[in-house]
Structure 1
Amino acid sequence: MNSKLISAIYLVFCCSYVYGQQNLRRAFQPPSIVNKIPYGANAKAGHYAKTKDANIYYEVYGKGQPIVLLHGGILGSTIEMAEFIDSLSKNFQVIAVSTRGHGKSEIGSLPITYEQKADDVLSVINVITKEKVVILGFSDGAYTSYKIASMYPERIKKVIAIGAGEQIPGLRKVVFNPKELLNTDKAYWTQQKAIMPEPEKLEDFWAKMEVFYNTMTASKELFGSIKCPVLIMAGELDRNAPLSTVINAYNMLPNSQLCIIPNTGHVVFLENFAAVWESIVPFLKY
């Protein structure tokens, strides 16, 4: 394994590296959207789906072909998908899922696996539609997208995976510092904890996620099993999903397209939404 790919990744950098001094509320909710629609806590659009051990929260916007949005992990929330929701809901039925342990979704009691995450998403999909759906996932949400496409091919039409390349244990080292995370933007976490059903379990959940991220595998067996069309996207300067790992994943996917946005990092769609959007539209149409 190329030693250049092995690095310690602190999740705080998702905010500080990409957005400088901007706080999390701004980093994960574009200025044009802030305070307009409370994505992730919108009572008018919110619903729950019951899984084996948890209630999973989701919101529905628009009409048309169903497209599921899956945000990133730990710092992620439905808020970060705001521009996608606004843009896609004009022509699609957008299903924005708060993944377990995030926002209004419960943490549950089962071990953390991508099989479990895929089943969570399927539970939501089955409540809403019998149609095949498109899934757009970012980072942790993208890995979940891969897994559900592999496990339930009859339910998935296409996948758009942002910031998620090949991953095997030892390729990176993920370290969470709960105090740093919580102090990065106290107002953001006050708001997030206020809507969480189990805020007292949050730090324990993060500890389990740290172990999970450092032991997970997404490689040839997974990518080779995905038969639907996949658009794999990343920022050229992504430190969470280095370019070589994204290209490796692209080469392992049987039916894939690759899009690299120059001069952008991990949260590429907030750095250059216009470029991301222009790349997604043709993929959705073909």
Structure 2
Amino acid sequence: MIKKRIIALLVAVAIAAFEWMSPSPISAVPAKQPAIETIKKQTGYAEVNGLDMYYEIYGGKNGRRNGGMPLVLLHGAFMNADSSFGQLLPDLAKGRPVIIVEQQGHGRTADIDRPLSYEQMADDTAALLHQLGVRKADFFGWSTGGVIASQIAVRHPEFVGKVAVTGAHFGPIESAFTDEGYKGFISIPDDFAPPSLKDAYDKLSPKPEQWSAVVVKVREMGIAYQGISTERLRHIQVPFLVMAGDHDTVDLGHLLDVYQLLPKGYLAIVPNSDHFLPVSHHQEVLALLEDFLKS
């Protein structure tokens, strides 16, 4: 077996603590992030698989390399480019082009008449990158975006240099989430509409009236997801960083199991944090991510 390195192995302590310490409340929604206004960017839409998919490109000339592999950022559920990665972008775009896509029913990409699935969103992302002329890229996904990134590694390995995820799961949520996280997710009501999420959707979406339908689709997608098989995880041959907060919605035991299956796996557990690392602990995430991508 390929020798593994662990960026920050706090798992044993964190899991032990999890058994006796009641977890800190997981934030209902992340803090609102300011718009990204200080970096030159390209924006546009691409027609992929029946979807008008919005993208942004930061750094590099016309989205081409400026000294580094392109980095694709994949946002979380109910979020968009700014709210997911506003604090990380200024540093990430210094040495390489950064591409952010907004998935079906999120941000500036309108919902269409089909269910949501992680597999379809991975295919949509790969199709968009193909249209942009991106032959290979690194990927960083948060939560839903992390699941999409893992599916890209399985379904479209030709596009992948390295993969990093935070708050992502790799199996059915009933076994991958903590009990609290699982109960909370399956109980998301149809009228779920936290202002910090809903207000941004109303402002950005071409069809803001689709919010309630997207809420239902996200919940159904999460419940239906069966994950990635052990065999397929063992066949992911790219460097893969699994990151999480020590009080994440995803069970740390699940992440440890996945890490041990990945041939080129890395693991980072950030203490005193939850599911919203890219917002609440962006400096730690930035340091871990840059170290991983440069190594």
With the shorter chain as reference, the TM-score category is 0.7 to 0.9
Give the distance between the partners of 2:99 and 2:36, measured in 1 at CA.
19
Match of 1:237 among 247, 260, 264: 247
Q: Give the match's secondary structure for 2:101.
A: strand
1:277 paired residue number: 286
Code of the residue aligned with 2:285 in structure 1: it is V
Code of the residue aligned with 2:280 in structure 1: it is E
Which gives a bigger RCO, structure 1 or 2 (Cα 8 Å, sep 6+)? 2
Distance 1:121 1:36, change over 3 A: closer
Give the distance between the partners of 1:28 and 1:233, measured in 2 at CA.
22
Code of the residue aligned with 1:205 in structure 2: it is V
Offset at 1:178?
4.1
Offset at 1:51?
1.3
TM-score by length of 2: 0.79
Code of the residue aligned with 1:215 in structure 2: it is A
Code of the residue aligned with 1:231 in structure 2: it is L
Distance 1:116 1:283, change over 3 A: same
Offset at 1:222?
4.1
How many residue pairs get aligned? The number is 256
Code of the residue aligned with 1:139 in structure 2: it is S
Offset at 1:82?
1.1
8 A contact 1:47–1:59 mirrored in 2: yes
Q: Give the match's secondary structure for 1:56.
A: strand
1:210 paired residue number: 219
Q: Give the match's secondary structure for 1:123.
A: helix
Unaligned runs of 5+ in 1: 6-11, 17-23
Q: Give the match's secondary structure for 1:92.
A: coil
Give the distance between the partners of 1:112 and 1:192, measured in 2 at CA.
17
8 A contact 1:147–1:222 mirrored in 2: no
Offset at 1:169?
5.0
8 A contact 1:61–1:93 mirrored in 2: yes
What are the Cα deviations for residues 110-129 of structure 1, in whole angstroms up to 9, with x where unaligned? 33222210111112211223
Match of 2:199 among 190, 203, 207: 190
2:163 aligned with 1:153, yes or no? Answer: no
2:61 aligned with 1:48, yes or no? Answer: no
Code of the residue aligned with 1:218 in structure 2: it is G
1:89 paired residue number: 93
Code of the residue aligned with 2:189 in structure 1: it is N
Give the distance between the partners of 1:156 and 1:163, measured in 2 at CA.
20
1:248 paired residue number: 257
Q: Give the match's secondary structure for 2:76.
A: coil
1:60 paired residue number: 57
Offset at 1:200?
1.9
2:276 aligned with 1:267, yes or no? Answer: yes
What are the Cα deviations for residues 147-204 of structure 1, in whole angstroms up to 9, with x where unaligned? 011111111100011111332153334222243x32x327x52342132122222212
RMSD, aligned CA? 2.4
Unaligned runs of 5+ in 2: 1-17, 20-24, 176-181
